[in-house]
Chains A and B, each alone.
Chain A
Amino acid sequence: MNYSDTDIRKHRHTDGKPNLRRFHQARWDEPVVMELSAEGERGILIPEAEQAVRDAAANVYDTLPSSMRRKNAPALPEIAQNRVLRHYLRLSQENLGADLQVDIGQGTCTMKYNPKINDQLAYSPKMAELHPLQDESTVQGILEVMHEFEKIIKAISGMDKASFQPRGGSAAIYANAAVIKKYHDAQGNTHKDEIITTMLSHPSDAACAKLFGFKIITLYPDDDGYPDIEALKAAVSERTAGLMITNPEDTGIFNPRIQEFVDIVHEVGGLCAYDQANANGLLGITRARDAGFDLCQFNLHKTFSTPHNSGGPAVGVQAVTKELVPYLPGPLVENDNGRYYLNDDLPHGIGKVAAFYGAASVVLRAYAWVMNLGAEGLKEVAEIAVLNNNYLMGEVLKIKGSSAPWAKGKRRIEQVRYSWEELHRDTGIHSEQLGLRMADYGLHYWTSHHPYLLPEPATFEPTESYSITDMDEYVRTLKAVTEEAYSNPAIVRSAPHNCPIHKIRHDNFDDPERWAVTWRAYCRKHADSSNG
């Protein structure tokens, strides 16, 4: 190309549309932190005890039983502070946070914008430096926030009481399974030992129920992708303790017969728990309680905009009807004439599901998010999330080799499970390989939980946070990558090319002789390849 032109813009566009990004992620080739050690360097100095304190203590090691004294200093690296910082900043650059890209590729994860003001508020010493055992009179502010946010959750779900103790979405699913167990124990329903869930609900719905000794019955989707109601009718019995189900499931298809599902389970005395991980498109549109659910859970790090934090800290809100309040974990935040307090007088409760009260600073962020938007704003969130998703679906389905199986011709709620079956048949390229090639353009991409029910699955969820231009860029890149699958499959197969590292040799990870979960294990097992 002749590059004598001074108009840069015309080289950034083809046919009036922006070209693909010439992206390359940072590649620092950074050593493992242990390799940075230089004898005697210090990262920080420790406040020394005063002479009088040291004198009083004399030789503190003498107070310890000899087997309790550490004989050798831990083999931690010795690194000056700026070198530690530089190392971790480089690692941060080798990580693709949602703030840096159009993160609609991590379907089911609801990667929405995390407002910075909410982080700033949470970093305030008035939040960050609170000890959980302080007298209630000194933490009235955060208790009020928790109490007010509970009211918000009650309005959104229709439920009567909420606990913020679970430290993640799966932890709230666990807490719901615990309440179902406790409820039936209290009723003397010892015969109720089965939980029904669906294959397209989160794996934790099945796994957590199993922890309480429940037998798991898993319903598969019918031909239209809905959980099979006939299978449910066949599965329920006197043994049914409960139903733990998502709606919409990860397909984004709303199950219009959800209330019938609930009624069928209620008829045999089971409880129904609504896994609301996919609630983003339904805020202010429909409520768990109205469909008859007894329990539900929300992920504040999804629907309520709190950061995912690379995988937590997080909060799973557990919300229940008044019949189930006695079984909640303690303590609950209560208000007595304007005085907020922690009520741990729950003799029939499930006890504790986490230390203290869960991640209160996450609750604070979610509260701030709702307080910024209000009822109209929440409805705008839901509607734009759904509109974005249907717009995106229209554009993705224009790409050769794509499809959105199940519920043909129907709209979706907040996400779609796509299939690249046709593309795979044509090119031999797998969905995972498309994902790694997308990473070359600085974009995430996710397939599906296991086992795959659809061949070559992909799940995209644009949330309300992305603009039309953002979605167009994602689709344009996806289209380019799929075209490569047809025209130059080798480049897709060998991806990623522009990431911090190249293809990992996976044979180490499942071989006990070679896996290494720590540097010390690595040095021991792979002596030839280490400096140590």
Chain B
Amino acid sequence: MSTTQKKTVYPYIPNSTPQARQFMLDAVNAKSVDEFYADIPKHLKLDGLLDLPAPKLSEFGLKRHVQKLLNKNTSTEDNLSFLGGGCYQHHVPSVCDEVNQRSEFVTAYAGEPYDDHGRFQALFEYTSLMGELLEMDVVNVPVYDGFQAAATSIRMACRYTGKRKALISGAINPDKLKMITTYCQADVDIHVIPVDQKTGGLCRASLKDLLDDQTAVVYFDNPNYLGVIEDGEAICSLANEAGAVPAVAVDPISLGVLAPPANYGAKLVTGDIQPLGMHMQFGGGHAGFIASHDEPDMVMQYPSRLFGIAPTEVPGEYGFGDVAFERTSFEKRENGQEYVGTAAVLWGITAGVYLATMGPQGMQEIGEGILQRNCYAKQQLSKLPGVNVPHFDQPHFKEFVVNFDDTGKTVAEINLALQEKGIFAGHDLSADWPELGQSALYCFTEVHTQNDIDTLCQALTEVL
């Protein structure tokens, strides 16, 4: 039996054949590839091979290996899920996947507006569709996620006003506040507006106290992290009267039924487009948008790319390209606005497909359906013994706080028991929101049927 080991020819590496390697070495007059690494000092060169697991060389072997790992997961298709808190289970229309799995988009990157015309047009359409949803004229090419968009909107407002005091609603995801704090530390003084415990909304009296003529921006989420729909008009009016920029983060899927923030006075609007056609992917489906009116002083504050429409030399032909590119760090390095890099373009294209598919009717119906399910769920849950909905009288869009203090059980105990019944219960708020006691954030979207909600209530009755 021969013991000579055959060299592996790798399917992803055409020139991994011995013949190709030799042909190229000869062509460049080199004895071995070591010559190309001659500039790397000997003591920096790795001796031998990396310490890595043995490879699964065959595609089938690899597939089996990874599937085995993935099969250890239980997904929201396996279980009934009521998790929200910034990442949402919605139906993803089949055309969204069909388009965003197209190799032409998946494997493209940074081609020119000519050979990559399709990408430019799809992104211009995405910003145009978002512009209609938001009733704003300027929308950026997506940034990393809603957190990043929020942090950038705060910095934009500070540059725009020339001030550094930012008032941030306390009713936002605590992780988002962490992100904003780190991102803005050098140039922004951050003050958190407390949450009104009665309403679950931001405390307007505190906002009034904190506002002064040094305030650059008043930032809040609407609906907020606790699911409460804030009185956006009242908050934006206070900000505008003080000369501060009202910056609002919004769930875009709410905008078929909720007023776009521009209509109640917001000057900067941000959010996350994950609900618009992206699978949750353990948090991998996020992308952020930033929108404003078409005011040049504000437009010049964007760090992100902005794609505009323009004529070509052929009448009737649309072309697209970068608007005011010299704002960016690509053009001006540290003298550009913040920074820009590879972020989440494919999700922007997908959200465009989503909005084009949904249309005005679809967006309105999905919003109404979510409001209805939340009304029903609130009523049903609050009927359960020991279960309270602390902000019951407030309007909620797709999630709300459910309190279990009177059951004598912790959320952790309840959630574990529900999980055993195949239910992912609402997100446990007790660590981050101790003032809410043993509370959880329950989310209901168009994917939930009456039976799903009743199943939840029945299961809760059994475990409480």
Least CB distance from A169 to B in Å reads: 6
**A72 → B minimal CB distance (Å):** 9
CB of A131 within 8 A of CB of B73, answer: no
Task: Report whether B341 and A500 are in contact in the complex, using a CB–CB cutoff of 8 Å.
Answer: no
Q: Is the CB of A326 closer than 8 A to any CB of chain B?
A: no
Contact of A129 with B279 at beta-carbon distance under 8 Å, contacts A64-B395, A515-B308, A516-B308 already known:
yes
Q: B349: CB under 8 A from chain A?
A: yes
Are the CB atoms of B144 and A43 closer together than 8 Å?
Answer: no
Contacts A63-B371, A124-B70, A138-B419; A354 near B319 (Cβ below 8 A): no
In the bound complex, do residue A211 and residue B183 qualify as a contact, i.e. CB atoms below 8 Å apart? yes
Contact A500 B118 (CB under 8 A): yes
Which residues in B have their C-beta under 8 angstroms from that of A91? 117-119, 121-122
B127-A504 in contact (CB<8A): no
Interface residues of B in 360-399 (CB under 8 A from A): 360-366, 368-369, 371-373, 375-376, 379, 395
Complex Cα distance, B71 from A281, in Å, reads: 34
What CA separation (Å) do A148 and B310 show in the bound complex?
A: 48
Most buried by B among A259, A449, A517: A517
A133-B411 Cα distance, complex, nearest whole Å? 14
Q: Do residues B357 and A53 form an inter-chain contact, with CB atoms below 8 A?
A: no
C-beta contact mask, A486-526 vs B, less than 8 Å → 1, else 0? 00000000001001111111111110100111111110100
Asked if A60 is an interface residue, CB under 8 A from chain B, the answer is yes
CB distance from A406 to the nearest CB of B (A): 13
Q: Once the chains bind, are B343 and A168 in contact (CB under 8 Å)?
A: yes
A381 to B404, CA, bound (A): 56
Any B CB within 8 A of the CB of A216:
yes
User: With A131-B76, A167-B145, A515-B324 in contact, do A355 and B35 touch (Cβ < 8 Å)?
Assistant: no
A285 and B118 in contact, given A98-B109, A130-B281, A518-B127 (Cβ under 8 angstroms): no
Q: Is B346 positioned at the interface, with any CB of A under 8 Å from its CB?
A: yes
Whether the Cβ atoms of A96 and B115 lie closer than 8 Å is yes
Q: Are A132 and B283 in contact (CB under 8 A)?
A: yes
A212 — which chain B residues lie within 8 A by C-beta?
A: 185-186
CB of B342 within 8 A of CB of A170, answer yes
Q: Using a CB-CB cutoff of 8 Å, which residues 1-54 of chain B contact chain A?
A: 8, 10, 12-16, 20-21, 23-25, 27-28, 30, 33, 35-41, 43-46, 49-54
CA A386 – CA B103 in complex, angstroms? 26
Is there an interface contact between B50 and A375, defined as CB atoms closer than 8 Å? yes
How many Å lie between the Cα of A253 and that of B39 in the bound state? 9
> Chain A residues with Cβ under 8 A from B283's Cβ?
132, 355-360
- Contact present for A56 and B379 (CB under 8 Å): yes
Query: Residue on B with the closest CB to A365?
Result: B66
Q: Write out the residue numbers on chain A whose beta carbons fall within 8 Å of the beta carbon of B108.
A: 95-98, 308, 310
Does the CB pair B127–A106 fall under 8 Å?
no
The answer on a CB contact under 8 Å between B15 and A71 is no
A167-B343, A207-B339, A307-B106 known; A127-B282 Cβ under 8 A: yes
A137 cross-chain contacts in B, Cβ below 8 A: 419
Residues in chain A near residue B287, CB distance under 8 A: 312-313
Q: Is residue A49 contacting chain B, with contact meaning CB distance below 8 A? A: yes
Given contacts A84-B353, A502-B317, contact A141 B69 (CB under 8 A): yes
Answer whether residue A428 sits at the interface, using C-beta atoms and an 8 A cutoff.
no
Any chain B CB within 8 A of the CB of A188?
Answer: no
Query: Nearest CB to that of B428 among chain A residues?
Result: A133
- Determine how close the nearest CB of chain B comes to the CB of A95; give it in whole angstroms: 3
Measured between C-beta atoms, what is the minimum distance from B186 to chain A in Å? 4
Residues of A within 8 A of B323 (CB): 509-510, 515, 517
B-contacting residues, A426-448, CB 8 Å:
435-436, 439, 442, 444, 446
Contact of B186 among A213, A412, A519 (CB under 8 A): A213
A69 touches B257 (CB 8 A): yes
Are A68 and B313 neighbours in the complex by a CB distance under 8 Å?
Answer: no
Q: Indicate if B85 sits at the interface (CB-CB under 8 A).
A: yes
What's the A-B contact tally at a CB cutoff of 8 Å? 747
B107, A114: Cβ atoms under 8 Å? yes
- Interfacial residues of chain B within 58-108, with CB under 8 A of chain A in the complex: 59, 62-63, 65-67, 69-77, 79, 81, 83, 85-87, 89, 91, 93, 95, 97-99, 101-108
Indicate whether A371 sits within 8 Å of B372 (C-beta atoms), given known contacts A155-B50, A353-B182.
no
Residues in A whose Cβ lies below 8 Å from that of B76: 129-131, 134
User: Contact between B128 and A33 (Cβ–Cβ < 8 Å)?
Assistant: yes
A1 at the binding interface (Cβ < 8 Å): no
Interface: A291 (CB within 8 A): yes
Q: Please determine whether B317 and A501 come into contact, CB atoms closer than 8 angstroms.
A: yes
Q: Is residue A220 contacting chain B, with contact meaning CB distance below 8 A? A: no
Tell whether B321 is near chain A: CB-to-CB under 8 Å. Answer: yes
Residues of B within 8 A of A94 (CB): 117-118, 121
Question: Per a CB cutoff under 8 Å, which of A50, A81, A122, A450 touches B330?
Answer: A450
Contact A70–B343 (Cβ < 8 Å): no
Task: Report the bound CA distance from A134 to B323 in whole Å.
Answer: 41
- Do A502 and B325 have beta carbons less than 8 Å apart? no
Write out the residue numbers on chain B whose beta carbons fall within 8 Å of the beta carbon of A139: 73-74, 282
In the bound complex, do residue B13 and residue A309 qualify as a contact, i.e. CB atoms below 8 Å apart? Answer: no
Interface status of B195 (Cβ within 8 A of chain A): no
Contacts of B225 in A (CB 8 A): none
Inter-subunit contact A506/B321 (CB<8 Å) = yes
* A284 contacts chain B at the CB level, 8 A cutoff: yes
A65/B312 in contact, CB under 8 A: no
B329 and A386 within 8 A (CB) = no
Whether A465 is near chain B, meaning CB under 8 Å from some CB there, is yes
- Within 8 Å of chain B (Cβ to Cβ): is A399? no
Least CB separation from A36: chain B residue: B356
Q: Residue B73 contacts which of A119, A127, A367, A470 (CB distance < 8 angstroms)?
A: A127
CB contacts under 8 Å to A, within B337-361, are 338-347, 349, 352-353, 355-361
Determine whether A19 belongs to the interface, using a CB cutoff of 8 Å to chain B: no
Residue in chain A with minimal CB distance to B85:
A133
Q: Which residues of A167-208 are within 8 A (CB) of B?
A: 167-171, 173-174, 178, 181, 203-204, 206-208
Q: Does B459 contact A (CB under 8 A)?
A: no
A-facing residues in B278-302 (Cβ within 8 Å): 279-287, 294, 296, 299
The chain B residue sitting closest to A95, CB to CB, is: B118
Q: For the complex, is B427 an interface residue (Cβ under 8 Å from A)?
A: yes
Q: Tell me whether A465 and B13 are in contact in the complex, defined as CB-CB below 8 angstroms, given that A505-B311, A517-B306 are known contacts.
A: yes
Assess the A170–B341 pair: CB atoms within 8 A. yes
> In angstroms, how far is the closest chain B Cβ from the Cβ of A433?
11
B339–A174 touching, CB < 8 Å = yes
Q: A47 at the A/B interface (Cβ < 8 Å)? A: yes
B424 at the interface (CB under 8 A from A): yes
B446 within 8 A of A: yes
At the interface, yes or no: B114 with Cβ under 8 Å from chain A? yes
Question: B154 in the interface, Cβ–Cβ < 8 Å?
Answer: no
Tell which of B156-164, B173-181, B210-218 binds the partner.
B173-181
Q: Are B104 and A93 in contact (CB under 8 A)?
A: yes
Most buried by A among B128, B343, B366: B128
State the CA gap A141–B156 with chains docked (Å).
Answer: 40
The residues of B that contact A335 with a CB separation of less than 8 Å are none
> Bound complex: CA of A76 vs CA of B93, how far in Å?
17
Q: Which residues of A contact B446 (CB under 8 A)?
A: 46-47
B288, chain A: closest CB distance, angstroms? 9
Q: Given A121-B66, A131-B76, A361-B284, A502 and B103 touching (CB < 8 A)?
A: no
Q: Which residue of B lies closest to A47 (CB)?
A: B446
B44→A286 contact, CB < 8 A: yes
Asked whether, in the complex, the Cβ of A115 is within 8 Å of the Cβ of B12, the reply is yes
Check A32/B115 contact, CB under 8 A, given A204-B341, A308-B108: no
Closest-CB distance, B426 to chain A (whole angstroms): 9
Contact B73 A142 (CB under 8 A): yes
B contact residues around A377 at 8 Å (CB) = 8, 10, 13, 55, 57
Extra contacts, 7 of them, besides A33-B356, A127-B282, A135-B415 (Cβ < 8 A), are A30-B121, A117-B59, A121-B66, A356-B283, A371-B65, A376-B55, A380-B16
10 pairs of residues in contact across A and B, judged by CB atoms under 8 Å: A34-B125, A74-B260, A311-B141, A351-B181, A355-B147, A356-B282, A371-B66, A375-B52, A509-B325, A522-B309
Nearest 9 pairs of A and B residues by beta carbon: A170-B341, A374-B55, A356-B283, A95-B118, A518-B131, A141-B72, A311-B345, A43-B357, A504-B319
